[in-house]
Amino acid sequence: MPSVQATARFVHNVMDEHSGRIIMSPPLVSLDLPDVWAPKFTCSDPLTTDDDSKEGDAVVIDGKLIAEQIRLGIANEVRRMKDSIRKIPGLAVIMIGDRKDSQTYVRNKIKACEETGIKSLLAELPNDCSEDEVLRALSSFNKDPSIHGILVQLPLPDHLDEERILNVLSLEKDVDGFHPVNMGDLAMRGREPLFIPCTPKGCIELLIRLGVEIMGKKAVVIGRSNIVGLPTFLLLQRHHATVSVVHAFTKNPEDITLEADIVISAAGVPNLVRGSWLKPGAVVIDVGTYPVEDPDSEHGYSLLGDVCYEEAMKVASAITPVPGGVGPMTIAMLLSNTLDAAKRAYDFS
């Protein structure tokens, strides 16, 4: 069983840098295995057998580096598409209001498109725009054949009905994977969604590239949002982990996380996960990005994760930092979904 090791080596394992064609790990969506029941009564083996590990030696999972590798592969594919059929993928972003964190996310997404050769369009609407204005922008992108992916930056201002808006988004362009059909197809065995939501997809891609075995492991997802917690649960279960979902109504959540080989935290609660919540050797993916004012930072705020990083470092075998862990992966997965959408639209493989 592979244990968690330094990042770079595994990136090379799954990516053919010469052709640049293998962008995502092949078994990302699911491993199709029959449910043959053969309960074992022996103790499960821990994720790492490194019993003489010293304190403070968790591998820092360099999401930024891995995301860069993936973006490089995507840029190669975009170039190949352009050379072959004279088309490039196109992403449209609809941003409503002036939330600083949303502005940063959108800016980063647009920039990442430019760097990989993906066309991007941005529709910025004021905080007090009407639902009709949003739906008009959405409809025009739905119809635009040069646009293959559309995302509506969430959260929306309170007066807008997220469900009504997302329902209008063309299923074939739902690169965020938030349409209920995509979610239903992700949930149901024997079906495949058109798109996997970007953040969960990025988390699993990190685990696969790190060589972390998921099948048969105990995983805990903290948080049950539509955007992260729910699809992360569904995706981990597709990989045959035994998954528990912890949320705000869970009593003694640490009792559950303490048993987990893999902890993916997406609660948005700074320092929720203490070192004492973790099983020694666990792999910890921190999705939390809680913005706090920070006059020293370029954009006036910085981000806090869900995990007490210093404490967790001493217990976990691998951990993602915030920022620089899951964030860059989310953007890379958005580009990957947009590329996939364009390939499907042009029947290009």
267 lies in the binding site for a copy of itself (CB under 8 A)? yes
CB-side neighbour CA atoms (13 Å) of 293: 1
Smallest gap, in angstroms, from Cβ of residue 228 to a copy of itself? 12
Window 18 to 77, contacts with a copy of itself (CB under 8 A): 33-44
252 lies in the binding site for a copy of itself (CB under 8 A)? yes
Q: How buried is 221 (Cβ within 10 angstroms: 0-12 exposed, 13-18 middle, 19+ buried)? A: buried
Angle at 241 between CA 250 and CA 186, to 5 degrees: 90
Count residues binding a copy of itself (CB under 8 A). 56
Smallest gap, in angstroms, from Cβ of residue 247 to a copy of itself? 6
Residues 6+ positions from 37 with CB-CB distance below 8 Å: none
Q: Which of 111, 191, 299, 344 binds a copy of itself (CB under 8 A)?
A: 191
Contact pattern from residue 215 through residue 244 relative to a copy of itself, giving x for each residue in contact according to CB under 8 A and a dash for the rest: xx------xxxx---x---x--x--xxxxx
Residue with Cβ nearer a copy of itself (117 or 216): 216
Question: Applying CB under 8 A, which part among 53-61, 78-86, 181-189, 313-321 lies near a copy of itself?
Answer: 181-189
310 lies in the binding site for a copy of itself (CB under 8 A)? no
1 lies in the binding site for a copy of itself (CB under 8 A)? no
Residue with Cβ nearer a copy of itself (36 or 310): 36
CB atoms < 10 A from the CB of 32, how many? 10
Smallest gap, in angstroms, from Cβ of residue 339 to a copy of itself? 24
Residue with Cβ nearer a copy of itself (22 or 215): 215
Residue with Cβ nearer a copy of itself (254 or 311): 254
Q: Which of 78, 147, 183, 313 binds a copy of itself (CB under 8 A)?
A: 183
DSSP 188-226: STT---S---HHHHHHHHHHHHTT---TT-EEEEE---T
Instruction: Write out the two tokens for 55.
Output: 């304190």
Residue with Cβ nearer a copy of itself (162 or 172): 162
Q: Which of 248, 292, 299, 344 binds a copy of itself (CB under 8 A)?
A: 248
Q: How far apart are CA 245 and CA 270, in angstroms?
A: 18
Helix (H, G, I), strand (E, B) or coil at 59: strand
Residue with Cβ nearer a copy of itself (125 or 269): 269
Q: Which of 249, 293, 298, 310 binds a copy of itself (CB under 8 A)?
A: 249
Pairing of strands 301-304, 290-293: antiparallel
DSSP 112-168: HHHHHT-EEEEEEE-TT--HHHHHHHHHHHHH-TT--EEEEPSSPPTTS-HHHHHHH
Q: How far apart are CA 287 and CA 43, in angstroms?
A: 30
Name the residue among 178, 208, 207, 209 with its Cα closest to residue 194: 178
Window 128 to 167, contacts with a copy of itself (CB under 8 A): 162-163
From the centroid of its chain, how far is CA 262? Answer: 15
Residues assigned a catalytic role: 109, 153, 176
Q: Which of 1, 22, 188, 292 binds a copy of itself (CB under 8 A)?
A: 188
From the centroid of its chain, how far is CA 18? Answer: 26
Contact residues toward a copy of itself (CB under 8 A) are 33-44, 162-163, 179-185, 187-191, 215-216, 223-226, 230, 234, 237, 240-256, 259, 267, 269, 272
